Amino acid sequence: MNVQRESSSRVLLAAIGLALALPAAAQAPAAADSNQLGEITVTATRREQNLQTVGIAVSTFSGDNLRELAITSSNELMNVTPGLRLQEGGGGPLLGLMSIRGVAQNDFAGHIESPNALYFDEVYQPGVSSSIQQFYDIDRVEVLKGPQGTLFGRNATGGLVHIITRKPTEEFEGHVAVGYGSYDQRHADGAISGPLGEGISARLSFLWNEADGYIKNSIGPDLNEDDTTAVRLQLRLTPNEQFEALLSGSTYRIGPMHTGGAYATAGVADADGLGEALPPGSPTMFGYVDADGDPFTGAFDEPGFIDRTQDDISARLSYRFGNGITLHSVTSFSQLDSVYREDNDLSPVPFTVFRQNADAEYITQDLRLAGEGDRTRWTAGLFYLDVEGSYLQAFDIQALGVTLQADYTLDTRSWSAFGQMEYDLSDQFTLTGGLRYTKDEKDYDYTQQCTGDLCFLFFAPGTLAAAGHVVDSHSEGDWSARLQLDWKPNPETLLYASVNRGYKAFNYNAGFAGLAPLAGVRFDGETLLAFEIGSKTDFWDNRARLNAAAFYYDYSDYQAFDQRGLNFTLFNADATVYGADLELSLRPGGGVTLQFGAALLDTKVKDVPIGASRLEREAPQSPGATFMAAIAKEIELSFGTLSISANGAYTSRNYSQLTNAPVTHIPADRVVNARIGFTDPDRRWELALAVKNLLDRERIVYAFDITGPPLGLIENTLAPPRWITFEARVNF
């Protein structure tokens, strides 16, 4: 551990010690006033609760918060959420690589499920391609940290992100917003909601966003454009006080548009296959040299392309029995169709093209009973998931006249039963216990094809490619659990200690090159034993709120993704993670709100094969320290309200890949965003100007090591440059 991390650890641990000591100093709240922090409602335990009474580390943002922070897409949440990383890999919205407290999975194959679950309105999203989405008509976003296997279940080993949309209302309301920004961005979003009759209401929401590419291509169309369209229709039925039905249908389309723009620098693989950067101006293996060193310009002979559509329908039903028990049912069907191609050599040379397609259907059914007594609150239920997916990964090596292509299907059926109960031991102490058992069945059918005279170069003995066709069926079950003790020494303070066991099911290796060893085509499920202590405290007459947690994770069979050159392989290894995170909110007065966040992390993945040795490595996307701050001020004027806000985040250096190869080192980074808005006295309309990446920094967020033959380069993905947006919004 370096000196910087040790210093950061002392500061954060001292703050957590202060948080644990605050209960003795907490006082009864004064009368409510405009300077007090309001109550925040979350559904982290599958029912509505005050955030400060939930013994789980949760970061939450309302739709208004997101707008004030100039956050318009899911990957920007990492700038305001301690412990969360969510970023695009490969220079476009093909997929989102999510890490929560160092629990990550950075394989980008279409069939892979993340260890951090993503939910939209209680509906689980299986594929990693769904995690990068633009927000529209959002009620709130909740980020739950630590295993959530008991109540949410599916692959929530590290935590989950729950995006909750605004629902139909009994009174007529709505809004429309239009905007214009950098790179000829044109934007519109809105919603209209209200009653259609007695006991029936509806809400229609939409999003449209277009922008030119910010990666300039000197020989073709610019890359990293945006062309996003989304529509969502919800219908709420309440024929009586006992029954409620919420029916929802939505479509979300990205493209067709040019994407995949990244910055290529030359590198070479060492004897262990780990990439090392060559001096600036050095050529790649196929002779390309970047002329100007500008990461936002290039010459791409094959413009990247994406066209992805996801359609969803769901039905959420609730029935309240007379004995205080409620039955909940959430049924969903989703269809994903995705086509992607990328100039993998990132040059004007017609050398290599990468292609990845996905065609999948998802069905989920969540059935829950929930009730409460004088001293108990409980939930029990069943969950079912069915995924039928057809996938393609291909690598066209034009210079060699070779095409490597993997066509494969993976069908998944998963069943689980779960239950959780909270029992009040006294007015101050509550004991929580929960258990879930999950069984997965998967059918895998993989076919490797190769055309060209030099295919023998890629058919190593004992690999998927050499086998040509592999079929396998397997079933496996395991359990998740929670045991927790909460202590409320006074109404303003919660202390908690928990032990959680998380589980993520087995899966299969796949890929265009098929270099994964045949013996390891199926990798085992992973389990995580998590220990956590935390504190939630309101103080200073409810003008201050400090939430903090410290944790230790012990991994068994961590699903580690090893990517070197054309070899993409998942294998099992043991790992440990420990760290701490905190969030502090202040309302000092004068219309000012201050927010601070911090996270410290230490990760160790054991027995990673490096050459002839097995070494310890840092987990990918796991910076040792992140710090963030935000300030907002409202100035009341006679003719309206002026709101000014700014937020910034610092992220220490980290690695984008498990090997920790030098070329996958992501430098320490900082980003600053700002927004100024003006609303009329009735808040019927608003004009706002937002600036993202205010300092216009060149920010590398991901790096692929493809320094081995035949490319000899590093693919660096950069965040967008400074982006200015003007927006006008009308509420009605």
Residue with tokens 């796991």: 622
Q: Cα separation of 560 and 574, whole Å?
A: 9
The confidence score (pLDDT) of residue 34 equals 73
pLDDT-derived band at 1, boundaries 50, 70, 90: very low
Which amino acid appears at position 289 of this protein? Answer: V
Give me the CATH topology for the region 13-731.
Maltoporin; Chain A (2.40.170)
Is 363:336 a contact under the CB 8 Å cutoff? no
Q: Which helix (H) or strand (E) holds 3?
A: helix 3-21
Question: What is the per-residue pLDDT for 169?
Answer: 98
- Give the mean pLDDT of 15-25: 45
pLDDT tens-digit readout, 554-563: 999 999 998 8
Q: What values do phi and psi take at 75, rounded to 5? A: -70, -20
- Kindly give, in sequence order, each residue whose CB lies less than 8 Å from that of residue 222, ignoring residues fewer than 6 positions away: 212, 213, 214, 215, 216, 258, 261
Over the stretch 245-270, which tens digit does the pLDDT of each residue have? 999 999 999 999 999 889 999 999 99
pLDDT at 9 over 60: no
Q: How confident is the model at residue 513 (pLDDT cuts 50, 70, 90)?
A: low
φ/ψ region of 204 (left if φ > 0, alpha if ψ in -120 to 50, else beta) reads: beta
Q: In the predicted model, what is the mean pLDDT of the chain?
A: 92
Strand partners, 176: 190, 730
Q: Given this model, what pLDDT does residue 134 score?
A: 96
Q: What is the pLDDT of residues 279-312, one digit of tens each?
A: 998 999 999 998 888 999 999 999 999 999 999 9
**Can you give the pLDDT at residue 32?**
52
User: Is the pLDDT score of 544 beyond 90?
Assistant: yes
pLDDT digits 0-9 by tens, 446-492: 998 899 999 888 877 888 778 889 999 999 999 999 999 999 999 99
Q: How confident is the model at residue 568 (pLDDT cuts 50, 70, 90)?
A: confident
pLDDT of residue 565: 73
Tell me, what amino acid is at 152? F
Contact 13, 5 (CB under 8 A): no
Query: Which tokens hold the place of 516?
Result: 């994964």
61-106: per-residue pLDDT in tens? 999 999 999 999 999 999 999 999 998 876 567 778 899 999 988 8
The answer to whether the beta carbons of residues 515 and 463 sit under 8 Å apart is yes
In the block, tokens 């996801």 appear at 310
CA distance 152 to 183: 40
* E strands, 346-401, in order: 352-372, 376-397
User: Which pair of tokens denotes residue 628?
Assistant: 């963030």
- 10 Å CB burial of residue 476 (0-12, 13-18, 19+) is middle
Alpha-carbon Rg for the chain, nearest whole angstrom, is 25
| Tokens coding 579 | 């760290």
**Among 386, 437, 436, which residue's Cα sits nearest to residue 413?**
386
Residue 357 to residue 303: CA distance in whole angstroms: 17
> For residue 38, what are the contacts with CB-CB under 8 A and spacing of at least 6?
none
Judge whether 441 and 415 are in contact, CB under 8 Å.
Answer: no
Tell me which of 498 and 568 has the higher pLDDT.
498
**Direct distance between the N- and C-terminal alpha carbons of the chain, in angstroms, rounded to an integer:** 55
Query: Please, are residues 664 and 655 in contact by the beta-carbon 8 Å criterion?
Result: yes
Is there a contact between 223 and 260 (Cβ–Cβ < 8 Å)?
yes
Can you tell me which residue has the tokens 């103080």?
Answer: 539
In this structure, what token pair is assigned to residue 420? 């959780």
User: Rounded to an integer, what distance in angstroms lies between the CA atom of residue 112 and that of residue 98?
Assistant: 12
Residues 157, 503: contact at Cβ < 8 Å? yes
- Average pLDDT of the residues in 641-656: 97
pLDDT per position as a tens digit, 135-177: 999 999 999 999 998 998 677 899 999 999 999 999 999 999 9
CB 125 within 8 A of CB 156: no
pTM, full prediction: 0.94
In the chain, where are the structural domains located?
13-731
Residues 599-641: pLDDT tens digits?
999 999 999 999 889 999 999 999 999 999 999 999 999 999 9
Q: Which residues contact 148 (CB under 8 A, 6 or more apart)?
A: 56, 117, 156, 159, 160, 502
Is the pLDDT assigned to residue 23 strictly greater than 60? no
Q: Which of 634, 559, 717, 727 is nearest to 188 (CA)?
A: 727
The strand ranges marked E within 565-684 are 567-589, 592-610, 613-617, 625-637, 640-651, 654-655, 665-666, 669-679
Side-chain half-sphere CA neighbours of 450 within 13 A: 23
